[in-house]
Amino acid sequence: MLDLRPNCEWCDRDLPPDSPHAMICTYECTYCADCVRDVLHGVCATCGGNLVPRPIRPRVRHRDGVGTGLANTPASTERVRSRWTAEEVAALAAKLRDVPPGER
């Protein structure tokens, strides 16, 4: 199950569970759409993979007998920050931004 991290790992912008601006990679690294576009250029700062819109978890359970919805499976409250420098991120993005995700 996705953690639904509460913030952009680059700029620390709040990204609540229903944010349409949250983007994730396959390892759940989480960034806002602005940082993905302007800083990361579509490349995850950690793994070099692509970033896609994070799914929005329904607020409530819509089926009896299953523990779904934010009320039953809340989003993470642990804030995460990138450990990479701006220079390291820029170098990785420059190297991979024009390489299709399936070929990285």
pLDDT score recorded for residue 14: 98
Q: Does residue 40 lie within any of the structural domains?
A: yes
Mean pLDDT in the chain?
A: 97
Sheet with 52-53, strands from edge to edge, namely: 30-32, 22-24, 52-53
Overall domain count for the chain: 1
What average pLDDT does range 20-46 have in this prediction? 98
Q: Does residue 26 lie within any of the structural domains?
A: yes
What average pLDDT does range 31-54 have in this prediction? 98
CA dist 14 and 29 (Å) reads 14
Q: Does residue 1 lie within any of the structural domains?
A: no
For 72, the domain range is 22-103
Residue-wise pLDDT for 43-83, tens only, equals 999 999 999 999 999 999 999 988 899 999 999 999 999 99
pLDDT score recorded for residue 6: 98
pLDDT score recorded for residue 20: 97
Q: Does residue 63 lie within any of the structural domains?
A: yes
Helix/strand/coil for 51: coil
Q: Does residue 2 lie within any of the structural domains?
A: no
Q: Does residue 95 lie within any of the structural domains?
A: yes
Share of the chain above pLDDT 90, in %: 94
Q: Does residue 85 lie within any of the structural domains?
A: yes
